[in-house]
Amino acid sequence: MTNIQNGKYKSYLKRAWAIYALLTVALIVVLVLFFAGDNEERFFFTIMPAAAAYVFRPTESHLGKLIFKFTGVSNPEENE
C-alpha cells in the first residue's frame, strides 16, 4: 500500500512542478509579447521572471500540503 501511495505522491509532485514551470513560461511569454518595448526589455522580461521563480520556488513541504489538500494523497514518509 505504501508503494502505491508513494508512487501517487511522486506523480502528483511531478505534475505540480510541471504546472509551476508552465506558469512561469506563460508569464515570460506574456511579458515579452505584450509589455516589452525594445530588445533590452525583452531580455529583462525573459531572464527576471525565471530567476524570481527559482528564488521564490515553493518548498517540498508546502507543495506536499497543497497536494494533500487537492488530492488527498500525503507523503508516506511524513506518516512514519
6 band by pLDDT with thresholds 50, 70 and 90: confident
Predicted pLDDT of residue 79:
56
Closest CA relative to residue 36, chosen from 47, 25, 44: 44
Answer positive or negative: Cα dihedral of 1, 73, 77, 21: positive
Q: Which three cell numbers stand for residue 52?
A: 524570481
Cα separation, 13 vs 65, whole angstroms: 11
pLDDT at position 1 over 70: no
- Convert the pLDDT of each residue in 20-69 to its tens digit: 999 999 999 999 999 998 999 999 999 999 999 999 999 998 999 999 99
